[in-house]
């Protein structure tokens, strides 16, 4: 009896150990990039894609690609992230062009984050690129990388770029206790891809997505920096949706705060308007309300976006810099609220 | 000797990631500097063990990333034991969405004294079930030293809290036993709060007993905007808008503004838009406590002006037990509060009382205890499934 129990325990342990060490140690094992990875050309196994309003990550550029196992399909979802089949791999490579004003300048690859849809759920893995830029290696504890570039105003920028650890990946990606992708929702993917047509229609034509509704029924999020097409309100809500709502939604890890910033939230107080903070601590900055309509300088949201102190700033992870343009958008939005 | 830096982070974080059920993660001896938050996720039946308070010191003085020192989420039966953790930029230890979290013999502190630049919470379990805090010390939090929020089935015992704004706070939580603790030299000693606009709407069934709550008179250094910034310095035990609270056998001494206060959410002067929120304290049972108070003025601050009002009315003889007197009209029948909702105050040693009648501008202020001479059924002891 005891022997049997022991055997079962060993079996359970070894299967757990096996699964946690069974991950690819190198990014090249995924066969995402064709040739020199700095060219960011995907192999035919992957579909490159873009999203409309991305998360701010210290001005890093991102290259996104997805692998869908053959004969399997994505199931369309209107609001939630799309329902990806088991075996899906989503890859996001973070990089900095040497000069943001020169698209053809040399690029520096920093990290590639991989999401794998395993039978037991999603797994998030961080890979860090080597200095030679030839390979990225799995680093479950993340890391830091000195990073510099010339920004769009021709200023030289230099930061200690922080790569999250494996558990922190989950910190953002967890919803109702389960890890999930954040970006690839229908509203974010509903956009033109490199002049080739609407991404969702391209996916539909390639036969990798099911149940796609009529084109004009597809939900759409505003592009946060396209002021010609979208209103300040729509752009601000889009920016909050992608930068905050992965935690600040009713099922997210910050649901203890009562502050819900997802694009579907309609209750004004839940969005933060005249709402007192719950557990902001010194993050309140002596201010009484999350958002004071008409007064960005009295709004805790602005105070926390404007900080780079780890004990004050929001989002808590993924940036060491202030997103100046995003902050200006939120300021403008709050100024116009009444 | 101080061990350096990213290697320590890396080796501990790696253990947090790879821990299997039944594992013990050993923290190093001595003082180590850790520059990033340590994250535990999906830890099941895991112990994180140091060599003892002040023998293992996790210092976050040079932290560059993360809103807490240690964060544990989505886990079950995790024990943190025998170490000191200090000077993180945000909270020291935050535990979220976890069933079974034991903090045992932990010192969690900001070492510069009570400063506004300190992080918010020292020990911070939230949205969790089965929480045990035993033999811990919390020092210097700019919000609450020991803060249990939106949780269920809680024991806080044998612990000490000082130099915090709030020593121990139980917020929107149900079934809590807070006993054998020593809360001193905070702005407020022990706070039992229910706040609006949260997922967990109603806390309660809280017992506070055998605690020493002494000299909680340091000036309130919480940044404005936080609910604890409204707590007047000199508060011993405060019940805010929580129902079913039993307070007994405590020694409550020289908290100069209010050794004990029982108040509704209306004293915050914040608007309530949450229709499911209940802003009144009801079914409160305060008995067999021992009080002491030197003749002294309450604390004076324009941020918490209650001290001026108390001094105006009582000079240096502020009553020990203060009730705001704001009552829900729906629980009144034939001019009396229905039995099950009453505030019962009985057999407290050396205590005087006032009902401030705050709702009517002090018009019917009364020191008569007769309306509160009643008893409630005792609240059941918290049963703790993971107790070590």
Q: Are B78 and B84 in contact (CB under 8 A)?
A: no
Residue B195 with chain A: CB contacts under 8 Å: 278
Residue B271 with chain A: CB contacts under 8 Å: 274
pLDDT band at B388 (very low <50, low <70, confident <90, very high): low
Contact (CB<8Å) B120/A280: yes
Q: What are phi and psi of B161, to 5 degrees?
A: -140, 130
Is the model's pTM score more than 0.90?
yes
**Triad A289, A292, A293: Cα angle to 5°:** 155
Q: Are B259 and B214 in contact (CB under 8 A)?
A: no
Question: To probe the interface with A, which of B25, B38, B70, B90 has the most A CB atoms within 10 Å?
Answer: B90
Report domain extents, chain A.
Answer: 18-217, 232-336
Which pLDDT belongs to residue A172? 86
Contact (CB<8Å) A278/B17: no
Which pLDDT belongs to residue A275? 94
Q: What are phi and psi of A173, to 5 degrees?
A: -85, 0
pLDDT digits (tens, 9 = 90+) for B130-163: 999 999 999 999 999 999 999 999 999 999 999 9
Q: How big is the A-B interface in CB pairs under 8 Å?
A: 148
**Triad B206, B367, B372: Cα angle to 5°:** 40
Instruction: Please list the alpha-helical segments (H only) found in chain B.
Output: 6-18, 306-314
Burial class (CB in 10 A: 0-12, 13-18, 19+), B177: buried
Nearest chain B Cα distance for residue A282, angstroms: 6
Task: Say if residue B277's pLDDT is above 80.
Answer: yes
Average the pLDDT over B276-283 and give the result: 96
Contact (CB<8Å) A253/B73: yes
Number of H helices, E strands in chain A: 8, 12
- Within 13 A of B14's CA, how many CA atoms are on the CB side? 10
Nearest chain B Cα distance for residue A101, angstroms: 30
**DSSP labels for B361-383?**
TTTT-B---GGG----PPPPPPP
C-alpha–C-alpha distance, residues B353 and A330, integer Å:
50
Residue B119 is nearest to which of A167, A281, A317, comparing CB atoms?
A281
Contact (CB<8Å) A144/B6: yes
Residues 309-328 on B with a CB inside 8 Å of A are: none
Residues 244-273 on A with a CB inside 8 Å of B are: 250, 253, 255-256, 258, 269-270
Question: To probe the interface with A, which of B195, B197, B199 has the most A CB atoms within 10 Å?
Answer: B197
Q: Are B191 and B162 in contact (CB under 8 A)?
A: no
Q: Which two structure tokens, joined as six digits, stand for B209?
A: 């007993």
Cis before A315? omega within 30: yes
Nearest chain A Cα distance for residue B101, angstroms: 17
C-alpha–C-alpha distance, residues B123 and B206, integer Å:
19
C-alpha–C-alpha distance, residues B168 and B186, integer Å:
9
Task: Say if residue B3's pLDDT is above 90.
Answer: no
Which pLDDT belongs to residue A21? 52
The radius of gyration of chain A's CA atoms, rounded to the nearest angstrom, is: 21
**Triad B347, B352, B357: Cα angle to 5°:** 115
Residues 131-190 on B with a CB inside 8 Å of A are: 142-143, 147, 149-150
C-alpha–C-alpha distance, residues A193 and A200, integer Å:
9
Sequence-separated (6 or more) residues with CB below 8 Å from residue A48: A42, A63, A64, A65, A193
Residue position matching structure tokens 């008569």: B368
Which pLDDT belongs to residue A335? 98
Residue B383 has a CB neighbour count (10 Å cut-off) of 11
Average the pLDDT over B64-84 and give the result: 96
Whether A177 and chain B come into contact, CB under 8 Å, resolves to yes
Contact (CB<8Å) A278/B223: no
Residue B120 is nearest to which of A141, A282, A316, comparing CB atoms?
A282
**DSSP labels for B27-73?**
PPSEEEE--EEEEEES-EEEEEE-S-BTTEEEE-TT--EEEEEEEEE
Contact (CB<8Å) B10/A141: yes
Q: How many residues would you count in chain A?
A: 338
Average the pLDDT over B275-299 and give the result: 97
Residue B67 has a CB neighbour count (10 Å cut-off) of 25
Query: Which secondary structure element, helix H or strand E, spans residue B240, and what is its range?
Result: strand B235-240
pLDDT digits (tens, 9 = 90+) for B329-386: 999 999 999 999 999 999 999 999 999 999 998 899 999 999 999 999 999 999 998 8
Residue A256 is nearest to which of B37, B39, B127, comparing CB atoms?
B127
Whether B67 and chain A come into contact, CB under 8 Å, resolves to yes
Average the pLDDT over B81-104 and give the result: 97
Whether A165 and chain B come into contact, CB under 8 Å, resolves to yes
Which pLDDT belongs to residue B201? 81
Residue A170 is nearest to which of B36, B41, B66, comparing CB atoms?
B41
pLDDT digits (tens, 9 = 90+) for A226-267: 999 999 999 999 999 999 999 999 999 899 899 999 999 999
Which pLDDT belongs to residue B303? 83
Nearest chain B Cα distance for residue A315, angstroms: 10
Whether B121 and chain A come into contact, CB under 8 Å, resolves to yes
Residue B198 is nearest to which of A16, A258, A316, comparing CB atoms?
A258
Low-confidence ranges of chain A (pLDDT < 70): 1-21
Residue A280 is nearest to which of B64, B89, B225, comparing CB atoms?
B225
Question: To probe the interface with A, which of B95, B120, B191, B226 has the most A CB atoms within 10 Å?
Answer: B226
Q: Are B226 and B191 in contact (CB under 8 A)?
A: no
Which pLDDT belongs to residue A8? 46
Sequence-separated (6 or more) residues with CB below 8 Å from residue B354: B314, B319, B321, B322, B323, B365, B366, B367
Residue A14 with chain B: CB contacts under 8 Å: none
């Amino acid at each position: 009896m005891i022997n049997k129990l022991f055997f079962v325990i060993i079996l359970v342990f070894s299967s757990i150990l096996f699964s946690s060490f069974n991950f690819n140690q190198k990014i090249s094992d995924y066969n995402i990039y064709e040739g020199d990875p700095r060219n960011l050309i995907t192999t035919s196994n992957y579909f490159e894609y873009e999203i409309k309003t991305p998360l701010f990550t210290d001005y890093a550029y991102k290259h996104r690609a997805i692998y869908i196992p053959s004969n399997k399909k994505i199931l369309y979802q209107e609001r939630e992230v799309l329902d990806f089949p088991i075996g899906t791999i989503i890859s996001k490579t973070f990089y900095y062009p040497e000069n943001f004003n020169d698209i053809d300048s040399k690029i520096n690859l920093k990290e590639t984050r991989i999401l794998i849809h395993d039978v037991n759920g999603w797994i998030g893995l961080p890979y860090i690129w080597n200095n030679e830029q030839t390979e990225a290696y799995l680093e479950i504890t993340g890391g830091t990388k000195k990073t510099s570039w010339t920004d769009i105003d021709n200023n030289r920028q230099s930061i200690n770029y922080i790569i999250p650890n494996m558990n922190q990946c989950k910190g953002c990606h967890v919803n109702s206790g389960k890890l999930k992708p954040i970006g690839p929702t229908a509203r974010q993917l509903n956009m033109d891809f490199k002049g080739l047509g609407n991404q969702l229609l391209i996916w539909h034509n390639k036969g990798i997505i099911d149940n796609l509704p009529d084109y004009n029924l597809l939900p759409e999020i505003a592009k946060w920096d396209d002021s010609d097409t979208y209103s300040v309100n729509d752009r601000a809500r889009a920016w909050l949706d992608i930068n905050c709502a992965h935690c600040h939604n009713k099922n997210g890890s910050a649901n203890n705060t009562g502050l819900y910033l997802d694009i579907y939230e309609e209750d004004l107080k839940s969005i933060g308007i005249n709402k007192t903070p719950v557990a902001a601590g010194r993050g309140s900055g002596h201010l009484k309300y999350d958002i004071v309509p008409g007064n960005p300088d009295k709004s805790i949201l602005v105070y926390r976006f404007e900080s780079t102190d780890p004990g004050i700033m929001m989002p808590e992870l993924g940036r060491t810099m202030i997103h100046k343009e995003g902050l200006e958008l939120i300021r403008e939005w709050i100024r116009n609220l009444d | 000797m101080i061990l350096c830096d990213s290697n320590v982070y890396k080796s501990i974080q790696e253990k947090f990631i790879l821990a299997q059920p039944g594992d013990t993660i050993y923290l190093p001896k001595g003082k180590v500097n850790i520059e990033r938050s340590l994250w535990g996720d999906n830890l099941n039946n895991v112990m994180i063990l140091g060599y003892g308070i002040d023998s293992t010191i996790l210092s976050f003085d040079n932290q560059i990333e993360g809103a807490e020192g240690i964060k544990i989420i989505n886990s079950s039966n995790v024990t943190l034991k025998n170490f000191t953790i200090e000077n993180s930029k945000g909270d020291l230890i935050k535990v979220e969405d976890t069933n079974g979290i034991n903090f045992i013999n932990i010192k969690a502190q900001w070492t510069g004294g009570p400063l506004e630049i300190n992080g918010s919470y020292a020990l911070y379990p939230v949205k969790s079930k089965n929480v045990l805090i035993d033999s811990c010390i919390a020092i210097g939090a700019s919000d609450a030293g020991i803060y249990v929020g939106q949780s269920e089935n809680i024991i806080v015992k044998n612990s000490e809290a000082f130099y915090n704004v709030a020593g121990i706070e139980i917020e929107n939580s149900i079934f809590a036993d807070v006993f054998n603790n020593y809360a001193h030299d905070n702005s407020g000693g022990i706070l039992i709060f229910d706040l609006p606009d949260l997922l967990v709407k109603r806390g309660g069934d809280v017992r506070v007993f055998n605690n020493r709550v002494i000299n909680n008179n340091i000036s309130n250094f919480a940044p404005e905007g936080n609910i604890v910034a409204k707590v007047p310095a000199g508060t011993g035990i405060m019940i805010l808008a929580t129902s079913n609270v039993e307070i007994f056998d405590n020694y409550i001494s020289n908290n100069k503004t209010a050794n004990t206060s029982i108040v509704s959410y209306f004293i915050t002067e914040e608007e309530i838009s949450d229709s499911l929120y209940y802003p009144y304290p009801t079914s409160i049972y305060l008995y067999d406590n021992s009080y002491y108070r030197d003749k002294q003025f309450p604390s004076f601050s324009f941020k918490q002006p209650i001290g001026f009002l108390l001094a105006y009315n009582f000079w240096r003889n502020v009553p020990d037990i203060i009730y705001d007197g704001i009552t829900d009209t729906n629980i009144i029948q034939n001019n009396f509060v229905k039995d099950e909702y009453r505030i019962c105050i009985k057999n407290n040693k050396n205590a005087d009382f006032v009902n401030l009648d705050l709702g009517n501008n002090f018009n019917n202020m009364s020191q008569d205890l007769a309306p509160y001479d009643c008893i409630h059924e005792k609240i059941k002891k918290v049963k703790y499934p993971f107790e070590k």
